[in-house]
Each structure stands twice: as structure tokens, then as C-alpha cells.
Chains A and B, each alone.
Chain A
Amino acid sequence: MWLFDRDLWTEVFHTLGKNMFRTFLTMLGVIFAMIILILLLGSSNGMSNGFDKVFAGTASNSLFVWGQSTSEPYKGFERGRRIRYKIEDAEILKREIPEIEVLAPRIELGSHRSVVTVYRNGQTSGSSVYGDYPEIDNITKKRLVEGRFLNKTDIEHSKKVCVIGEETYKLLFDKGEEAIGEDIRINGVFFSVVGIYKPNNNINIDGENAVFIPFTTFQKAFNSGDRMGWMAIAVEPNTKVPVVESKIKDILKNKYDIHPDDQRAIGSFDMSEIFNNISAFTNVLKGFSFFVGIFTLLAGVIAISNILLITVKERTKEIGVRRALGATPKVVRRQIVVEAIVLTAFAGLIGFAISVGILAILDSLWGSGEDFPFVKPMVSIPQFVISFILMVGLSLLIGMIPANKAVKVRPIEALREE
């Protein structure tokens, strides 16, 4: 097996080592190609990681459902009827659709996206006020900077507690002031602050200026009865969100006498769609990187083969001597091919080292992902292994061109005295 033929390797390294400058020039193409490939791959990984970070804390297989107004008359009802859900709907949906993993009902004070004045010690903020269940945290996770989120006990005992956004904190409190345990007032009711959250990077469903209180507390404090504003729903991992979405709509349409073809009555938003779009985007980016990288690599390997072709010409005499001394065509061919492989592999590793260094620098400069989605730009081991195997495979194929040229050298022509 030639792979373990130490003499062959010695011979190859010897030949390459004794012609350092030429060897280096030969490798440049592949070094650059590898740098380009790894940088492209690493950057797309960085973007992919960046998006992951943006959406960290948001369940990808989730949807939100709320009520709007009907757009079709049905069963004696006029069009334009407002759909208002009841808290019992949550139970019905959970019971009827086993694919639902988490269902968090929510109610909002005032009309949708309206603000309510929140008071504290003479300071005020216009904030959104939500009645929530702790389960919402499994769908859109709050990054708490202080304290805790709502919990089961809060719900069970309808505790007058709240979690506020950072923006709200800034409006109601002085800089550095302790907020946990302090009371804020909404519509004349006092709530004790138990937590402050910071919004997840870029995705911002609830806004930064918001107050979350337990759903049950909301019902009592603001007299909302059995009303429910909207639902955040996470579906089982292997279930498609649109499937569950249409099941939910069917049940709700049936319950609230909505025309089956009414597209507007029930509002919904499929979170998974965004995730799918983004992962499709990053996959295209990665695929493109590979594509461009592989072709650059091909060009680099062809450059190596080209230079080997030239050196074969230069080395005609040497090859002739070797043939005269007993080198069989196979041995000559093998040596050139192995030279091509060694050059490529070595150049590839150099390029890899350089590009990993560059990626590390990029990472330390922008890798935090604060300004734009770019986190931990690096290549994975499988990506590296695949690139490397491809590269060596290409060099083996393309190395055959100079190798066959070398085999065609006739010793007698090579050795002819002028």
C-alpha cells in the first residue's frame, strides 16, 4: 500500500523540500482558495448563529391566535362582528388538539396595542399591560435582568405582582433604584414588582415597555370576567404548525359561528414560517459558500496541476534518469500524484489555519452579535472534513494530468546529449 511507503513520502517531501520556493508558489492558489472557502463558510455559520441568537428564547414551532372582526355574514350574524374569546376556549383547544404542547392565554388591558398609564411615586409610563400565565415563558422566554417571572403560585392566589420591561423600569424608577418589592399602580390597583426583563435581541413580540401580571389577578383587578384576548401556542416538536393552526381555526369558527371561508375573523401568526424562511436563507448562504469555495478550490488545484505540469517539463531529464535507473511508469506516476496531493493538503492546511485565525479575529471584533446577526463565525468539523476530502480528491484526479505527462517522457528523448 503506497500510503504506508515511507520511502515514497521521503522521496516526495525531499523533492518538494529541495524546491521550497517553487513549492510555495505552487501552493498559493490552494492556500487562497481554502481561505476563501473557510471564510465564506465560517461567515455563513456566523450569520446562522446570529439569527439563532436573535430568536433564542422564542419557540420555533409556535403560533399566536387572536380575535378580529368577521368579514362574511353567517347564520344570521352581520359581517363586521368582533370575535372575543373566552378563557374556556383554551381548555377546549387543549382537550381537542393533542398536538398542542403549551397554550398560554393572555389578556390585554385596553384595546390591542393600546397603552395604559402606570403610576409610581409621581412618575408615569404609558405601557402595555398583559394578564399572562407563566407558560408564556416557554414560548417567548423573557431575559430577566432582575427577580423572577410570574409563577404558578401567583396564578393560584391571584397575587398582585408584576414583571416589568426595562423601558418601563426606566420611566418609573430613577437610575439604579431598587425596583423589586416596590409597588406600581395601574387603574388604581397596586402591584408589587417581582422581576425586570430585557427584550430578546431583535425579535420583540411584547415590546420593552410592558407590564405582565398574573392572568387570574388581571381578571379580578380589571373585571375582565371570562374574556381572553389571545393565545400563544407551542405545538409538539414533530407537528407542523399550519396543521394545528387550521385545526384551531376550525374549532373556533364552529364555536363562534364564523363562516368557514372567513379569512379575517381569526387572526393568527405562524412563528415557524419565519424560522423556516431564515433557515432556508442561511442554508442557501451555506450552500452558496460551498459552491463558490469548491470552485475556487478547483481553480487552486488546477493551478497546482498546471505548475506540476510545467515542472514535469523542467524535470524531463530527471524523470528520464529515474526511468533509466529503473523507475517504472507506475512509480513515476505515483510520485507526481502524491506530490499533487501533498502540495494540496499542505496548502489546504495552511489556508485553513490562516482563515481560522481571521475568523477568530472577526469573532472577537463583531462576534457578540449585538449590532447585527453575526455570532461565533467558525466552521464545523464535518464542514472542514468534507472540504478537505473534496480538496484531496480533486488533487488526486487533477494530479493525474501531470502524472500522465511524466509517464509519457521517453527516457531516451530525455537523456539525449545535445
Chain B
Amino acid sequence: MIEIKDLHKSYRMGSNSLHVLKGINFKAEDGELVAIMGSSGSGKSTLLNILGMLDVADSGEYTLDDVPIKDLSETKAAQYRNKFLGFIFQSFNLINYKSALENVALPLYYQKVGRKERQEKALSYLEKVGLKEWATHLPSELSGGQKQRVAIARAMAAEPKVLLADEPTGALDSTTSYEVMDLIQKINDEGNTILVVTHEEDIAHMCKRIVHLKDGVIVEDKKIEQVRAQQYV
């Protein structure tokens, strides 16, 4: 599904240059649930942003579902993001003046899905995350956990090939975190490929594989026995 080879990325700041990713090699198959771990500033977000086509690497190869991702125009990148990727952010990033339903429907709008179908689909995804009754509510009327579930529904609405979550539980208390992880696990159970960036051990162990980032390279990459989040909620 995802394959990157010898990925490099550095940030230039004035005359200095900060080499963040120093040759990353990584492969994720269909249906995997991968935790990307590392201390703060280790380049987890940088890597995820490159995978999410929000940023570009300085060198290296990246293929997504056998499509080489290279020299994309802004327009092409937007289309690929829409078609291939679903984003889940630490701070949810819901549009605050849109209802839960409208937020979920937004990627479908950019996919030019018809109005009615869009609404129906969005509602079914809200139902999936258990927030059907909250469809008409604004984000400000939702709790943190609910917001993240709306964000997850939004990420899934366009039926992407890969879900990318950057610290999805970073802004949540532990119970709520487990609820969100429970949801992510269930989505993964249905065969969706998910990459979760986290620096929390317990969250990482709810995935099926942990990739450890340090000093710009992958220092560890292991399959693990998944801890089900269900038992904690």
C-alpha cells in the first residue's frame, strides 16, 4: 500500500539546515495499523506530512497504492489527498461554523459527490462513530472525544486508502483516548490501513506494529500483540 525508500528531509532556517529525516525506508501493507513512535521533535509529523502529500521530501521515493508520488502540482496533490488519504489531527481541525454533518460531508463535496448522496453518506459515517444524534450540532457543542470522532468520520467519509492520524489522542484524557483508539481499531478491523503517530506507549500498543523513529532514522520496526482498547472503555 505505502512504500518509501531512502527518504530525506531537512528544514532550512536561515543559513542553518536541520536534517530531520535521514533516509527512511518503510513499507506498510493493506490493512495494517502502524504506530509511529518517537520523542518530540524526532520527525514523526514531518514523515506523516510527507506521506500525506502536505509536504514534499528532498529526496527519496514514495509510492502509494502503486502510484508514484512525485512532482505533484498543488491541484494534483489536492486530488490525491482527497482520493487516497484521510487525515486525523491532534486538535481535530473541524470547521467551527459547520455542523458535524457538514464537516463530515466536506471531503465528499470536494469529490463532487451529489448533495443528497453526500448527506446520506456523511450521516452513515456519523452513525458509525456513534454520533448520529449530534449531526446538526456545531463543534463547539461537542466534547473533545466527540470532536475527534467527528474528525474520524470525516477522514473516512471519502473512503480513502489510508488514514493518517497525527497524535489523535494527544488532546484527550486517557478514557477518551481509549474510546478513540477503540474506534480506530474497529475501523482497522474492517480492513482499513491506518498510520498513527504517537509518543504514548499505551496508545502505540493498541496498534499492530510499532515503528520507532530516532535521530531521523527508523531504529526499530516490530509487529506486536495488539492490546484491545475495548476493555478500558
Which residues of A are at the interface with B, using a C-beta cutoff of 8 A?
6-7, 10-11, 14-15, 18-19, 317-318, 320-331, 407, 411-412, 415, 417
User: With A412-B54, A415-B54 in contact, do A326 and B75 touch (Cβ < 8 Å)?
Assistant: no
Does A326 lie within 8 Å of B82, measured CB to CB? yes
**Closest approach, in angstroms, between the C-beta of B195 and any C-beta of chain A?**
15
With A326-B78, A417-B90 in contact, do A7 and B115 touch (Cβ < 8 Å)? yes
Task: Tell me, yes or no, whether B226 is within 8 Å of chain A by CB.
Answer: no
B52 to chain A, nearest CB (A): 7
The verdict on B143 contacting chain A, using a C-beta distance below 8 Å, is: no
Q: Give chain B residues whose Cβ lies under 8 Å from the Cβ of A328.
A: 74-75, 78-79, 110
- Report B-chain residues with C-beta under 8 Å of the C-beta of A11: 109
**Complex CA distance for A15 and B110, rounded to whole angstroms:** 16
A325 vs B79: C-alpha distance in the bound complex, in angstroms?
9
Q: Majority SS of interface residues in chain A?
A: helix
The one of A7, A18, A325, A330 that contacts B81, using a Cβ cutoff of 8 Å: A325
- Contact A412:B81 (CB < 8 A) given known A318-B95, A328-B75: no
CB of B199 to closest CB in A, whole Å: 13
* Minimal Cβ-Cβ distance residue in B for A329: B74
User: What distance in Å separates the Cβ of A297 from its nearest Cβ neighbour in chain B?
Assistant: 29
With contact pairs A415-B93, A417-B90, A417-B91 given, residues A326 and B45 touching in the complex (Cβ less than 8 Å): no
- Determine whether B49 belongs to the interface, using a CB cutoff of 8 Å to chain A: yes
Q: Which of A7, A15, A321 contacts B97 (CB 8 A)?
A: A15
The closest CB in chain A to the CB of B138 belongs to A18
* A325–B74 CB distance below 8 A: no
In the bound complex, CA of A353 to CA of B48 (Å) = 54
Q: Cβ of B110: which chain A residues have Cβ within 8 Å of it? A: 322, 325-328, 331
Q: Is the CB of A415 within 8 A of B89?
A: yes
19 A-B interface contacts by CB (under 8 A)? A6-B115, A11-B109, A14-B98, A14-B102, A18-B97, A19-B97, A318-B95, A318-B96, A321-B94, A323-B81, A326-B78, A326-B82, A327-B110, A328-B75, A329-B75, A415-B54, A415-B89, A417-B91, A417-B170
CB-based contact A323/B78 at 8 Å: yes
CB distance from B21 to the nearest CB of A (A): 14
In the complex, A321 Cα to B111 Cα: how many Å? Answer: 15
Residue of A nearest to B86 (CB): A325
| Distance (whole angstroms) from the CB of A409 to the closest CB of chain B | 11
The answer to whether A325 and B45 touch (CB under 8 A), given A6-B115, A318-B95, is no
